[in-house]
Every structure is written in C-alpha cells, then in structure tokens.
Amino acid sequence: MFRVLTNTTTVRNTTAAAATKINVPDTKQPDMKHLKRESQSRIKTISIYRWIIYINPEEPNKKPYLQDYKIDLNDCGPMVLDVLIKIKNELDPTLAFRRSCREGICGSCSMNIDGRNTLACICKIDDSSKPLKIHPLPHMYVIKDLVPDFTNFYMQL
C-alpha cells in the first residue's frame, strides 16, 4: 500500500517492514493557459438601437440612433443575447433589454436582429465582417433601447 504525502516528492511504502523512499516528480495543477483558444481575435461590430423616452432639458429633441460596440467574439458566448449581456456588464450599463429563460421559450428577448424578428437567446452570431444590427421589435412602442411596451400584447392574452 502506497501513501502520497501532499506537497512532497516522497512516496513511502507503508506495508514493508522497512520504509523505502521513492522519488516521484511533483504533480502540480495543470496549467490551463494552453487550453485557451490561441486563435486570432474575432472582433465584430455590434450596432444597437438606442433611445429613451424622457424629457431632457439639454437635448429636448434627441432622436433614436445606432450605437456601435466592438466585441471580441472569442470572449463571449455564441448567441446575440450573450453579446448583449457582455456589453451591459462590461461596456455600457445603461443598455436596456429584456431576458428571462435563455432557452427560446418565453419570448422576452424578442427583437429585430439583422432585419429579422427573432429571439436573441437562440440567434447565433455569424462570423462575417459586416456589423450586426439590433433593433427593438417593429410596430411596437419603445420604452427604452431594445425594450418594447408589451402592455397591449398582454391585454390580448
């Protein structure tokens, strides 16, 4: 029977009458750096519709606009919702959007992505160089940024 003493290089045979020492190389924790993707960065421009309905005395007639963010796709998940969460957490905490189940069931993250009404949680980001354009759902009142007013929708249920 062998027993390995932690943080040492000695293994002792505890079954023999006389203990024998055997030198064994240290087993350190593996270096996880080699597991990281060593590919080139995949920078993608994300253009997001920005607007808030409020009265600002300094900018009374501010119009909606598209704000560009540059994101390395190697540093986030493959879905549009992952990119939005990364932007909100790391670049712009004022960005507003809805999310809930992250499984394509609830519809909270519905928005217009590259001209198609879809769910951000199930929409994959393509690797092309063209910017990804994200707008709120069309034909709905916008509360802020990508958050539409679902009041009429809920009243019809």
Q: Which helix (H) or strand (E) holds 66?
A: strand 65-72
Whole domain around residue 10: which residue ranges? 2-26
User: DSSP alpha helices (H): ranges in 58-142?
Assistant: 80-86
pLDDT tens track, the chain, 157 positions: 555 444 444 445 555 555 555 555 555 555 555 445 556 788 999 999 998 766 566 666 678 899 999 999 999 999 999 999 999 999 999 999 999 998 888 889 999 999 999 999 999 999 888 999 999 999 999 989 999 998 888 888 8
pLDDT of 153? 81
* 70 and 14 part of one domain: no
Please report, for the domain that includes residue 118, its CATH number.
Answer: 3.10.20.30
Neighbours of 136 (CB within 10 A): 24
The two tokens of residue 128 are: 């092309």
Q: Under a CB-based contact definition with an 8 Å cutoff, are residues 10 and 2 in contact?
A: no
* 15 and 68 part of one domain: no
Reported pTM? 0.70
C-alpha pair distances (Å), 30 with each of 7, 9, 75, 86: 15, 17, 22, 28
In a domain, 157, yes or no: no
CA distance 10 to 156: 74
Cβ contacts of 9 within 8 Å, gap of 6 or more: 23, 24, 25, 26
In a domain, 32, yes or no: no
pLDDT of 41? 81
